[in-house]
Structure 1
Amino acid sequence: MAHDVQHYNLDQKFDFTGALKKTVFTVLGIGAVLLVIGIIMSMFGGHHEGAAEAEGHAFHWYERLYANLWINNVYFTGIAIVGVFFFAIQYAAQAGWSTAILRVMLSMGSWLPIAAVLLIATFFVANHSLFHWTHSYLFDTTSPEYDSIIDGKGAFFYWPMEKGTFPVFYIVRMFLFFGFWVFFFKKFQQFTYNEDQIGGTATWYKLRSWSAYFLVFFAVSSSIAAWDWVMSIDTHWFSTLFGWYVFSSWFVSGLAVITLLTIFLKGLGYLEMVNENHVHDLGKFVFGFTIFWTYLWFSQFLLIYYANIPEESVYFVERLTSDIYGPYIFVNLAINFVLPFLLLMTRDSKRHGVFLKLVCTLIVVGHWVDFFLMVQPGTLGHNGGVGLMEVGMFLVYGASFIFVVLTALAKGNLIPKNHPMLEESYHHHI
């Protein structure tokens, strides 16, 4: 290896200091307090009782808690898997520029085992409150509640069991996706740490092949996960590009988190190899995929709008005409498209930490709003909204996620010192 890279400390490790842990736990504590206050207010607030009874069932405070758990589980699972996905893309594309920040991407996958437990546990506890299709009477032809449309889709959840019993097929998919995601993540982790020990290019070739397998599996699993975990909430409705749409929302949020972590580590004096050119590239990714998300949002909306088929348009009509969710549709578009588009348009803004910190923080919050709009209307109807419970839960999940990621970063070297393209990353200039 040329002497250029040698004057960097390639054995640098991230030190997760007590002060930093304290900050993370403070945010977690604030989130927990807001969450508890939000739950108490929901228990004693008699939240929109009339509206709930008009819909045919009394509303319970824990339904809102479950919906919030589901939003955050799905959202943070997506951010974690995108870290692994983006890592795999660097190897599959044989990219050199990103070598210095590979470990930042991979560390996000550390949340996956926790995400698996949280999401599966939430499903087992809260499935009747979240998913209309889990009620057995919908599949009973003699019942007045029988629903022929949901019955037609029943096999997708219940095969090979009888419809309306135990959703074996659905649960097997959940375990399968998480199982493989965690398996690939652990495999990547093992390879990249082996590379630090043995050097050479053998590990890089192995990582490239494994990344290709992962990307194929991810392409299928991320789409089906979007149908299972989000689209099946509104069981009657479907959209042919929904898998892409959820992926794009996850991807932009994941890129924003990678960018924030990189700038954060750089600010603490780590990753000296990362220069403004690397930051510029991350900024371009965030900018580009913000537009990609908007394109998919608009494509989905426009097709449904001009075809105007009742069973499709009901999804948007419910949201746009609602006093609770209507305004958030415009908030969603403003935070996730208008502001990033205007703020990151120039070359300079993509090279400056201040702009990127602002935009990426907006995006992380904005795409949470996107998932909020996908989950709450179908689960809570008129009883939803953004209150202390939502803010508290988001802070608890966000702080926990950051704690897990930073703990993972502190365990090994920050820079893959024997990566064959380290030199290229060092000389990266655009």
Structure 2
Amino acid sequence: MGTHNYNFTEQFEFAGKAKTLSIIAIVIGIASIAYGFSDHAMHERTFANLLLMGYYFACVCMSGTFFLAIQFVAQAGWSASILRVPEAMAKTLPIAVAILLVIVGLGLYTHNLYHHWNAPGLTDPSSPDYDKLIDGKSAFLNVPFFMARQVIFLGLYCFFSILLARLSANQDLEGGLNSYRKSFKYSCIFLVIYGFTQPIFAFDTVMSLEAHWFSTMFGWYNFAAMWVSSLAIIAIILICLRKAGYMPWINNSHLHNLGQFIFGFSIFWTYVWFAQFLLIYYANMPEETVYFYKRFEFYKFWFWLSLVLNFLAPVLLLMDRDNKRKENVLLGVSIIVLLGHWVDYYQMIMPGTVAEHNGFGIIELGTAIGFVGLFTFTVLTSLSKKPLIAKNHPFLQESLNHHL
């Protein structure tokens, strides 16, 4: 085992250009959202973009918690020196959750979101707008129960995110294995809860936008998207930190591991996407094929672009072993994957909200830029609060000597 002279008290300083640009991005986002709400005809489109980015923001942060939990339960050694990055994402989750709940709540109240099941008269047999199918789902799809599920599920994810971050801080101060053992135990509990509730969360937040349609694979399709997006973000942050002179212990083998995960789960995302598509195509039932009809008819460019960015690009560029170890290649692929899953969420959400009245311009670009700025500001602020390495992690030496 080698010896190292790394500075384990080193902290990231969030200042200068990075901080300024993130604030400018937030201002651009606020201005774009205000522009969208300035015209009543664009309210629905603005809400749809807010839901898209609010959901994306929350998903990558909760996947940061999922990353931590996976490492603890697997007792993984390779990742011990990079855990501060997903930990910062996990600590940001309460902010993302608060924003998402506000968006969903206002969208329900104004009927700009979820109007397929929340519009007046849909469950009233005496109304001309009565919908028998929606009425049959009303025991599950009703505003009080819907919001209760959102609050309970997201609240549980926040609780475990804060708990794991707190145990990490305690381990820094106290050393020993007490906090690590607790992290292992609570991670096991979190993974069970997350595994059962995350698909329901995806059904509620996104699939219920088109309440006549359903797919039992939709939850795992969303899981694959949020998980590979969070891996891409972790890779981007680590590479940028390393380029800035931080975290010198990160080597090409750590990048190789992340590249393997991004490569593998991009294939998994495609597998679930194609399995869902193939089953619906083969069954050819009108109540199911309407989902893909809308996307072929009004969103064909986005439909195929999603496959190119989320499958072809990562598979072709990361198939070679050496490319997984090159930081510039991995950085480029990670950015492509993040853009690709924005496109993925765009074609998930827009047909069920604005339908054929879609557009692409200031609202879409500005809202996305604003949330990127908000994510950058909150995560990097959190990252700057503690040393960049968990100095008392029991597998730290294994991570520092990680070589493939």
Q: TM-score range by the shorter chain?
A: over 0.9
Contact 1:80-1:109 at 8 Å conserved across structures? yes
Deviations 1:236-258 (A, max 9, x none): 00001110001111111111001
Inter-partner Cα distance in structure 1 for 2:169 and 2:194: 23
Inter-partner Cα distance in structure 2 for 1:22 and 1:73: 22
Please name the residue that 1:134 is paired with.
Answer: 118
1:85 maps to a residue whose letter is F
Match of 1:420 among 386, 389, 394: 394
Q: CA deviation at 1:35?
A: 5.1
Inter-partner Cα distance in structure 1 for 2:252 and 2:31: 39
Contact 2:91-2:165 at 8 Å conserved across structures? no
Percent identity at matched positions? 43
Q: CA deviation at 1:111?
A: 2.6
Deviations 1:356-394 (A, max 9, x none): 111111111110111111111111011113222101100
What TM-score comes out, normalization by structure 1 length? 0.90
Q: CA deviation at 1:139?
A: 0.4
Inter-partner Cα distance in structure 2 for 1:232 and 1:28: 29
Query: What secondary structure does 1:140 align onto?
Result: coil
Please name the residue that 2:144 is paired with.
Answer: 168
Contact 1:336-1:363 at 8 Å conserved across structures? yes
Where structure 2 has 5 or more consecutive residues not aligned to the other structure, the ranges are none
2:68 maps to a residue whose letter is F
Inter-partner Cα distance in structure 2 for 1:109 and 1:379: 29
User: Over the residues paired in the alignment, what is the CA RMSD in angstroms?
Assistant: 1.5
Cα pair distance change 1:19/1:101, threshold 3 Å: same
Please name the residue that 1:151 is paired with.
Answer: 135
Please name the residue that 2:307 is paired with.
Answer: 333
- How many corresponding residue pairs? 401
Q: CA deviation at 1:69?
A: 0.6
Deviates more, 1:189-198 or 1:377-386: 377-386
Query: What secondary structure does 1:61 align onto?
Result: helix
Q: Does 1:64 align with 2:45?
A: yes
Please name the residue that 1:4 is paired with.
Answer: 3
Query: What secondary structure does 2:141 align onto?
Result: helix
Please name the residue that 2:19 is paired with.
Answer: 21
Q: CA deviation at 1:60?
A: 2.1
What TM-score comes out, normalization by structure 2 length? 0.96
Deviations 1:110-144 (A, max 9, x none): 33212222112112222111112112301001112
Q: How does 1:25-424 map to 2 (within 5 A)?
A: 25-33=23-31, 43=39, 60-127=41-108, 128-131=111-114, 132-158=116-142, 167-322=143-298, 325-424=299-398
Cα pair distance change 1:156/1:36, threshold 3 Å: closer
Inter-partner Cα distance in structure 1 for 2:275 and 2:192: 25
Deviations 1:299-328 (A, max 9, x none): 000110011111111100111022xx1111
Contact 2:50-2:103 at 8 Å conserved across structures? yes
Contact 1:38-1:387 at 8 Å conserved across structures? no
2:137 maps to a residue whose letter is K
